Structure 1
Amino acid sequence: MALAIRDVREHDLDAVLALNNAAGRSILALDASRLRYFFEHADYFRVAEIDGHLAGFLIALREGGDYESPNYRWFAQHYPEFVYIDRIVIANAYRRHGLGRIFYCDVHSYAEVRVPLLTCEVFLEPRNDVVVLFHGTYGFQEVDQQQMGTDGPQVSLLAKDLPSYAYVRDTWLEHGGLPDVPWLAERERAVANDPNQRRLAGERHP
Structure 2
Amino acid sequence: MSIAIRDVREHELDSVLALNNAAGPAILPLDAARLRHLFDRAEYFRVAERDGAMAGFLIGFGAQAQHDSSNFAWFGAHHPDFFYIDRVAVASRRRGGGVGRALYADAQSYAELRYPQLACEVFLQQGNDHALLFHGSFGFREVGQHVMAGHDIRAAMLMKGLCSYAWVRDTYGDALPDEPWLQQPRQVAQPARPTGTCA
TM-score scaled to structure 1, two decimals?
A: 0.87
Tell me which amino acid in the other structure corresponds to 1:185. Q
Match for residue 177 of structure 1 among 175, 178, 183: 175
**Separation in 2, partners of 1:2, 1:107:** 18
Tell me which amino acid in the other structure corresponds to 1:10. E
Alpha-carbon displacement from aligned partner over 1:149-203 (angstroms, at most 9, x marks no partner)? 1552111000001111000000002xx511111111112357xxxxx47xxxxxx
Does the 8 Å CA contact 2:44/2:186 hold for their aligned counterparts? no
Does the 8 Å CA contact 1:122/1:156 hold for their aligned counterparts? yes
Alpha-carbon displacement from aligned partner over 1:60-90 (angstroms, at most 9, x marks no partner)? 1101122111110011112221100011100
**Separation in 2, partners of 1:26, 1:179:** 38
What is aligned with 2:96?
96
Does the 8 Å CA contact 2:3/2:99 hold for their aligned counterparts? no
Unaligned runs of 5+ residues in structure 2 are 191-199
What is aligned with 1:125?
125
Q: 5 Å matches for 1:47-86? A: 47-86=47-86
Match for residue 187 of structure 1 among 174, 185, 188: 185
The answer on 1:33 being equivalent to 2:38 is no
What is aligned with 1:19?
19
Tell me which amino acid in the other structure corresponds to 2:159. A
Alpha-carbon displacement from aligned partner over 1:4-56 (angstroms, at most 9, x marks no partner)? 10011101111000110111111101111111122111111100111221111
Give the superposed CA RMSD. Answer: 1.5
Tell me which amino acid in the other structure corresponds to 1:44. Y
**Separation in 2, partners of 1:115, 1:5:** 20
**Separation in 1, partners of 2:118, 2:150:** 27
Unaligned runs of 5+ residues in structure 1 are 191-195, 198-206
Does the 8 Å CA contact 2:44/2:185 hold for their aligned counterparts? yes
Q: 5 Å matches for 1:141-156? A: 141-149=141-149, 151-156=151-156
Tell me which amino acid in the other structure corresponds to 2:40. E
SS in 2 for 1:93: helix
Tell me which amino acid in the other structure corresponds to 1:35. L
What is aligned with 1:166?
166
SS in 2 for 1:187: coil
SS in 1 for 2:160: strand
Percent identical among aligned pairs is 54
**Separation in 2, partners of 1:151, 1:47:** 27
What is aligned with 1:201?
none
**Separation in 2, partners of 1:78, 1:137:** 24
**Separation in 2, partners of 1:13, 1:98:** 23
**Separation in 2, partners of 1:108, 1:75:** 17
Give 4+ residue runs of structure 1 displaced > 3 Å after superposition. Answer: none
